[in-house]
A and B are shown apart, each in its own frame.
Chain A
Amino acid sequence: GENVEQHPSTLSVQEGDSAVIKCTYSDSASNYFPWYKQELGKRPQLIIDIRSNVGEKKDQRIAVTLNKTAKHFSLHITETQPEDSAVYFCAARNAGGTSYGKLTFGQGTILTVHP
């Protein structure tokens, strides 16, 4: 089955700096890669996603890149703010030609943005 590895496990940055979180996946058939932000005691919230037919996607201060050949994808947050502090999870899904299927999550990255 799919295995998703996420690094780093913790990341500490100064406000205004950029943060990068990286994930690798094992199943070359995976074709959908979402990123979730989880604040303490809250639900994971979808912040951005990318499909395998796209190499990069951007939404304001966040962007995701995908390298299918290397089977890795990354989350980039620019101009970080204290409210970006949370746990970030990457995930992968092999939809097998459909649009549904289970998500396999990475271990999570605790991002701390210092004012």
Chain B
Amino acid sequence: EPEVTQTPSHQVTQMGQEVILRCVPISNHLYFYWYRQILGQKVEFLVSFYNNEISEKSEIFDDQFSVERPDGSNFTLKIRSTKLEDSAMYFCGQQLGLGEQYFGPGTRLTVT
């Protein structure tokens, strides 16, 4: 299985602060995704990103969220003003093109 990496593994922040979660891409992977998983719940789609632009986003992905892949390097998810309910595991997903999506190890975000 391709190795997707994410940083940081754990982020603690205060409500209202901005956080940036990073995903290190695998070469040749073209499609990028962010998902979140609230503790004990299912994995939920946030956004998909292809060719340097958002291709689809969910209702969860409101104006507080943004994604980018500056200079073809890390794929990032930014939350501008965190809320308590943003506490969750955030997984970066990548896909080469044949269909299989692989996930990074996740970032545990704790908003206090």
Please report A residues at the B interface, Cβ cutoff 8 Å: 32, 34, 36, 42-46, 49, 51, 89, 91, 93, 95, 99-108
Contact = CB atoms under 8 A, between A and B. Distances in A.
Contact of A105 (B33, B44, B95, B99): B44
Contacts of B106: 43
Interface of B: 1, 30-31, 33, 35, 41-45, 48, 50, 55-56, 58, 91, 93, 95, 97-106
Nearest to A47: B1
B56 A101 contact: yes
A97 B87 CA distance: 35
B31 A100 contact: yes
Contacts of A99: 95, 97-99
Contacts of B101: 34, 46, 103
5 residue pairs, one from A and one from B, having the closest CB atoms: A102-B45, A43-B103, A100-B31, A105-B43, A105-B42
Contacts of B105: 42-43
Contacts of A93: 99
Contacts of A106: 42
B45 A103 contact: yes
B99 A45 contact: no
Given A101-B56, A105-B42, 12 more contacts: A44-B91, A45-B103, A100-B31, A100-B55, A100-B97, A101-B48, A102-B58, A103-B33, A103-B93, A107-B41, A107-B42, A108-B42
A89 B42 contact: yes
Nearest to B105: A43
Given A44-B43, A45-B1, A100 B48 contact: yes
Contacts of B56: 101-102
A46 B100 CA distance: 8
A22 to B, nearest CB: 16
A34 B98 CA distance: 13
B60 to A, nearest CB: 12
